[in-house]
Amino acid sequence: MRPPSLQLISVEDAFGRQGWHCERIDGKDVLRAVFTGHHTRIELIAQAYPPMNALAVIGEMPLPVDEDHEHPILELLARANKSLNLGGFEFDLDRSRLVFRITNLFDREKYDADIVTSMVHCTVAEIDRLAPYASIIVRTPADLLDDLDIQRLLMREDLIPPVPGDEDETP
């Protein structure tokens, strides 16, 4: 079994600085972690690609979708992706999983901890942000799906999790 790369060790270091528990996947440059968001539990993978100094952070949550709801879920992801600057949503049809993936290329073998932390925060926040919209779609009866306006659904701000630190502010 080969030892972890310097790149993976730097990611593990960044997690440690934040107090995040993670575990290495033996023989791979991969860390696995679980985060609890406002709306859902996010399973996270951080994979280092040493030859190109790249890091991919992938967050997932289970999202069982029947055939009737598949198209509206895919529309939700397509519309959500239009407003993103970093990363992107996917739906793993084979495993029924909502996925968010973000990748960064680093200029050094030791990855910048602030960037790694930001990538994880972004991944967790994006999955957590989309979870309630996806849940509404999945719970909508099939005969009412044609009446569901996905674009308007995404405008519902009451479903967006609070920004950490903003909960104490009064309007």
d(CA 79, CA 74): 9
Angle, alpha carbons 39-97-24 (nearest 5°): 85
Res 3: pLDDT: 84
What DSSP character marks residue 39? S
Domains in the chain, start-ordered, CATH in brackets?
A: 6-159 (3.30.1460.10)
77: Cβ–Cβ under 8 A, 6 or more apart, which residues? 89, 90, 91, 98, 130
Phi and psi of 127, rounded to 5°? -65, -45
Task: Band the pLDDT of 164: cuts 50, 70, 90.
Answer: low
**pTM confidence score:** 0.90
Question: Please, which residues have CB within 8 angstroms of residue 119's CB and are 6 or more apart in sequence?
Answer: 46, 55, 57, 102, 104
Mean pLDDT of 142-158: 93
| Residue 135 or 171, more confident | 135
pLDDT digit string, tens, across residues 21-42: 999 998 899 999 999 998 999 9
* pLDDT band at residue 159 under the 50/70/90 scheme: confident
In terms of DSSP H, where are the helices of the chain?
6-18, 67-82, 113-139, 150-153
What's the whole-number average pLDDT of the chain?
92
Give the per-residue pLDDT at 163: 67
